[in-house]
Chains A and B, each alone.
Chain A
Amino acid sequence: MNLTDQTWLWAIPALPLAGSALCGILHYLTIKARMPKRAHGAHGHDDHGHDAHGHGHAAHADHAASDHGAGDHAHGGDHGHGHAKVEPGLSAFAPWIAVLAMAGAFALAIKGFLGLQGETHALESPAWDWIDTGTFRIDLAIVLDRLSSVMTLVITGVGTLIHIYAAGYMKGDKHYAKFFAYLNLFVFAMLMLVLSSNLLGLFVGWEGVGLCSYFLIGFWYEKGWPAEAGQKAFVMNRIGDASFLIGSFLLVKLFGTLDLSDIVAGVSGLLGDPEKKYELLLAGLFLFGGACGKSAQLPLFTWLPDAMAGPTPVSALIHAATMVTAGIYLTVRLNPVYAASPDLLFFIGAVGAVTALIAGSTALVQRDIKRVLAYSTVSQLGYMFLGLGTGAWAAAIFHLVTHAFFKALLFLGAGSVIHGMHEEQDMHKMGGLKKHMPATYFTFLAGAAALSGLPLLSGYFSKDEILAHTFAHGGAYRILWGIGIATAAMTAFYTWRMVALTFFGKERFDPHHVHPHESPSVMTVPLMVLAVLSVFGGLLGLPPVLGSTHALEHWLEPVTAAGNALLAEHGTHALDHGTEWMLLGLGAVIALVFMGLGIRAYVGGTARDEKVASSAPGLARFLQGAWGIDAAYTAYVVRPMQLLFFVVAIVIDQFTIDGMVNGAGAVARTCGDRVRRMTSGNIATYGLWMGAAAALIAFLFLKRIG
């Protein structure tokens, strides 16, 4: 298929990697220039603690004056410029480098996309010979096929917009360049994830995005709790990653390779053997475990709300548009593995639906605007898995794309609000912002309309397609459909509650202290572009009933063909036009009705929340804490594990094992005391005894074995 040399494909991930390295260097130069002139001699060969004390106060003063990030925004009426004592220095170039790297990658993604027309289904670069396992080799190549081109366009396209926005949002932060170094590094890892030809190469990206997520959640590490949130995210992701690894071992056992295209091609050949079919199911299940970690599904979703400790552009890029969709990508990538087992598919659909419900209901009562969006993201990812559970691969990717548009928009809009409100995230302390921040307001409306599924907007088509597929499957899938519909109602409600609390009604903040202001155009222009995409993104996948072809489904056909062929063996599920119209109408009605209810309940202020909290405090707490799941983990997993660690260290290791060792030592000493009286104290005599004993033991030993 690819006769020409496609080495240039490596440039797609390499550009952001290079950008990251350059920004890293800029960061180093910036902080080095900012350091008080410490005597460099102190670093010489006698660098002991005591001579460092002399410099202590200077260093601390610098640290306090430049207390960065959130603090800067909080006081400077002119977002960052006013108060910040931090000279950007060389780091001012960082966003230019980072955005250029992103734009370059985006241009290359378009080049690749254009190259994939017609009969060309994939472009492949030469491979890097990575690990020779002794029985098979793990090669890394960049493969741009129909699926990865969609992902690459989203990552680099939405990513570029978010980078531009971040140039404004992070301005004045003392680690400005470092932020872009991490952000570009993240994009590199994400591109490796979607472009790798090999499952282990995908895993490089998989863990790489997790690492960048860890760094970026904990970006304001000096505050302490963001670092804890980052750690939680990394560890919970690692639980999924352990599962991923087991899945990969099973794939090696079944296919003797980790090459993705070989695995996809080999599935149908295995299904004749029941044992292998079972192992394939297990492999799919374990890989799905990995997907649950990365894509924040039950039972591993509790890290995502905490991940909001990171700067808002991070939430938009990583925790809404790209990284968290990696699990969906993985499942679609290996679609025949899942298609081979209807039970596994139903399981995935059920996990998705239940996650959507739990997270959607939790979003109803959150006060922190970012937490509403975080739970909403978990919920929407649940929809995507519900779609995958019906075998509707293209529908899941469709929702992934539209969600990337509107959720990135909403996060960035929320960031603009937080920015304008001087780091306030509590919606109860907002209200009436529409006149203060018109650009943010209008774009936010577009995002909210898309998320809540208002007719003809992007989210409307993509969500309804998933629900239609679920409905069409009948049987137990009807329960999942019911959950999906209920969640759609909640989605519309919490979305418009958020809009009403933030932008409508009266101002609930002290106008003497807080002066909300619109964000600069470097931030609002990306919002506008995303708003347009959120409104019209549905054109990618208009349902056939509207007399159009589903462009995205058609585009992805070469990727999903293998899975679809297997699904077809279990029978097809098509809806007649009447039902389809009915479902579309139902979706529209629900979105509109619950939008109305949400606005009506909250346009007047926060009274409704207080009423719920006082009339049903148990329920409010239950929903507030995401059905108590996180608290249960702390009580029944984290605490017992901590206890276990100490029991192991103190009781088992120190008292039992070491106790026996020391006990044996004591016995030996007592014996030695007795023996000492027999000996002369002469070293030669000791040696003699030792030699004799060794000889005796050797003799006895030889006698026994000889």
Chain B
Amino acid sequence: MNNLTLLVFLPLVGALLVAATPKAAVSAQRAITLVTMLATMVLGLSVCLDFDGASAAAQHVIERPWFSLPGASGSVPIAFKLGLDGISVLMVALTALLGPIVVLSTWGHIHERVKEFMVWLLVMQTGMLGVFLSLDLVLFYVFWEVSLVPLYFILGIWGGDRRLYATIKFFLYTLSGSLVMMIAVIALLYQLGTADIPTLIERVSSLPHGTQVWMFGAFALAFCIKVPVMPFHTWLPDAHTEAPTSGSVILAGVLLKMGTYGLLRFCIQMFPGISLEAAPWMMGLGAAGIVYGAWLASAQNDIKRLVACSSVSHLGYVVLGLFALTQAGLRGSVLQMVNHGISTGLLFLLVGMIYERRHTRALDQYGGIASVMPVYAVFFVVTVLSSVGLPGLNGFVGEYLILLGSFQASPWIAAVSVTGVIFGAVYLLMATRKFLWGPVTHKANEGLADLGAREVGLMVPLVVLCFWIGFAPNTFLDRTDGSIDALVKRIDAARAVRTAALAPVEAPLVATEGETR
């Protein structure tokens, strides 16, 4: 049963089923979507459990020839190739897990055009799983684009008042990134004559240095926009603010991870040498994002915008850790991608739940919510603490590993990034205070109903994960062992080559290599 093709296309089948229902059969549409997402979750988690973390090789591989494209030396075969490795395994698990949670969350806020919404949710699930599982570059690109379209509609149809602006901004940003990436994809295929990602990883080093720099740059730009890395981030707060809760949860939980995943898979794994050269810049951008995002968040009164800005800060940690190119940094980043999906996903869920009751996102419209909704307050505080990186919860493990790894690579950049620990506490606790504590100052807040069973139920798995990752992160880290060890070996080899190349004795070799350009 652990078939990746089935996993990827199961949601699409569900989408077709939903599409076949009559428009008014809202309950049926919801039920089909939920069941499909649950089945996908079970299948996804079982695939991830049936995975040997000690091995670096892709597992559960499925490969079927698809079509071919012309290349520099004969035709390039394109395959339908899926596989799971230590870099994708946690992302697949996270995507699969968030699926049913997102569907359940729509009960509260999607009341119009339910059928379409459910179809888009399911299509997006297929797209996202495909992105993480593709081992063929063209297939990856196809899934990448497929996953963009549903969010475009979700934002544009079910979004807030400024949804048009936000949608166009989101689309233009991501599209420009995608186009740049497409060029790099075409160039890569054309030059190397294969679209098979593991083969590409082996062959890329044969390209001239200058070509590699350009390709790295194209991929990096596309992924940095997606993450988003400061200064390409301004689409994100707008998109999050306007998106419906479920859209925000998927966007923060999974879609942004496509960017960090891409950085890891295509920039670092494919171009370890160039990554070493780019590392100080990328780490710098990561650190800048941590601090800048936190400052930005500190100035917000719109709580959803605040959470969106906090994403910029938290994903800054991920980029920082990735380009530290150390064991601790990489492991921390892979874990932090999951952590961010959980804690930011929870934050958006919580913000959505209060929005459904009060129809405002302005912090100054709240205050004293803890007195009115004690259960809600408990979930909110736990989530904030997870986001702040309190030891014992998930955020700490990721942050600590990232900061430790980046300290090993660059103490100064790490020292700047550590201030994020302070600023993170500033904006999250400030928001908590304005939101939860103090007297109930607005009449409209006095009668708010506390969380219901559905709302508690859909958050419980995520809260359990917060504690689980906090206390036993090795359950998750172990699955990435093999792949990250192999990756670090590649990076070390590239570093050795680079050190040798930089040594004066080897200088002529560099010159001849440069000549070939």
Contacts and interface: CB of A to CB of B under 8 A. Distances in A.
A55 B440 contact: no
Given A231-B429, A245-B421, A650 B299 contact: yes
Given A31-B374, A224-B439, A648 B299 contact: yes
Contacts of A245: 400, 403, 418, 421
B422 A227 contact: no
A203 B296 contact: no
Most A C-beta atoms less than 10 A away, residue of B191, B414, B438: B438
Interface string A643-667: 0111011100100011001000100
Contacts of A252: 404, 407-408
Interface in A227-278: 227-228, 231, 234-235, 238-239, 241-242, 245-246, 248-249, 252-253
A131 B397 contact: yes
A131 to B, nearest CB: 6
Interface stretch (A37-45, A349-357, A392-400, A587-595): A37-45
A134 B453 CA distance: 41
Contacts of A44: 452, 454
A658 B173 CA distance: 12
A43 B452 contact: yes
B47 interface: no
Given A130-B473, A648-B295, A45 B107 contact: yes
Contacts of B179: 694, 697
B234 interface: yes
Interface string A409-443: 00000000000000000000000000000000000
A52 B327 CA distance: 51
A130 B169 CA distance: 43
B76 to A, nearest CB: 14
Interface in B419-478: 419, 421-422, 425-426, 429-430, 433, 436-440, 443-444, 446-455, 471-474, 477-478
B370 interface: yes
A59 B372 contact: yes
A184 B211 CA distance: 61
A59 B447 CA distance: 6
Contacts of B488: 134
Interface stretch (A204-212, A369-377, A574-582): A204-212
A649 B295 contact: yes
B391 interface: yes
Given A45-B454, A235-B422, A701-B214, A52 B391 contact: no
Contacts of B187: 698, 701-702, 705
B231 A47 contact: no
Contacts of A203: 391
Nearest to B424: A238
A682 interface: no
Contact of A705 (B211, B385, B403, B455): B211
A129 B299 contact: no
Contacts of B446: 56-57, 59-60, 63
Interface in A48-67: 48-49, 51-57, 59-60, 63
B418 A246 contact: yes
B69 interface: no
Interface in A117-162: 129-135
Nearest to A210: B390
A133 B404 contact: yes
Contacts of B440: 60, 63
A204 B477 contact: no
Interface stretch (B31-39, B149-157, B356-364): B356-364
A5 interface: no
B292 interface: yes
B77 interface: no
Interface in B130-170: 168-169
A411 B443 CA distance: 39
A676 B169 CA distance: 20
B299 to A, nearest CB: 4
Most A C-beta atoms less than 10 A away, residue of B108, B299, B371: B299
A644 B357 contact: no
B391 A131 contact: no
Interface in B91-109: 107-108
Contacts of B485: 134
Nearest to A178: B374
A235 B426 CA distance: 6
A697 B218 CA distance: 13
Given A53-B447, A648-B295, A231 B430 contact: yes
Contacts of A48: 356-357
A52 B186 contact: no
Nearest to B327: A134
Contacts of A642: 298
Interface residues of B, number: 91
B328 interface: yes
B449 A38 contact: yes
B425 to A, nearest CB: 4
A70 to B, nearest CB: 14
B392 A208 contact: yes
A223 interface: yes
B429 to A, nearest CB: 5
B507 interface: no
B419 to A, nearest CB: 6
A475 interface: no
A227 B369 CA distance: 13
Interface string B378-406: 00000001000011100011001101100
Nearest to A55: B447
A218 to B, nearest CB: 6
B369 to A, nearest CB: 11
B299 A694 contact: no
A701 B183 contact: yes
B449 A52 contact: yes
Nearest to B176: A664
Nearest to B420: A242
B234 A47 contact: no
Given A31-B374, A245-B418, A131 B401 contact: yes
A214 B437 CA distance: 12
B447 A57 contact: yes
A44 B455 CA distance: 9
A43 B390 CA distance: 31
Nearest to B419: A242
A657 B168 CA distance: 17
B514 interface: no
Contact of A658 (B234, B397, B419): B234
B501 to A, nearest CB: 20
B437 A218 contact: yes
B421 A238 contact: yes
Interface of B: 72, 107-108, 168-169, 172, 179, 182-183, 186-187, 190-191, 208, 210-211, 214-215, 231, 234-235, 292, 295-296, 298-300, 327-328, 330-331, 356-359, 368, 370-372, 374, 385, 390-392, 396-397, 400-401, 403-404, 407-408, 411, 414-415, 418-419, 421-422, 425-426, 429-430, 433, 436-440, 443-444, 446-455, 471-474, 477-478, 481, 484-485, 488
Interface of A: 31, 38, 42-45, 47-49, 51-57, 59-60, 63, 129-135, 200, 203-204, 206-208, 211, 214, 218, 221-224, 227-228, 231, 234-235, 238-239, 241-242, 245-246, 248-249, 252-253, 641-642, 644-646, 648-650, 653, 657-658, 661, 665, 694, 697-698, 701-702, 704-706
| Top 9 A-B pairs, shortest CB-CB distance | A56-B447, A43-B452, A134-B327, A649-B299, A227-B437, A221-B437, A249-B407, A645-B299, A49-B357
13 contacts: A43-B452, A45-B107, A49-B448, A63-B372, A63-B440, A211-B385, A221-B438, A235-B425, A245-B418, A252-B404, A645-B296, A665-B168, A705-B187
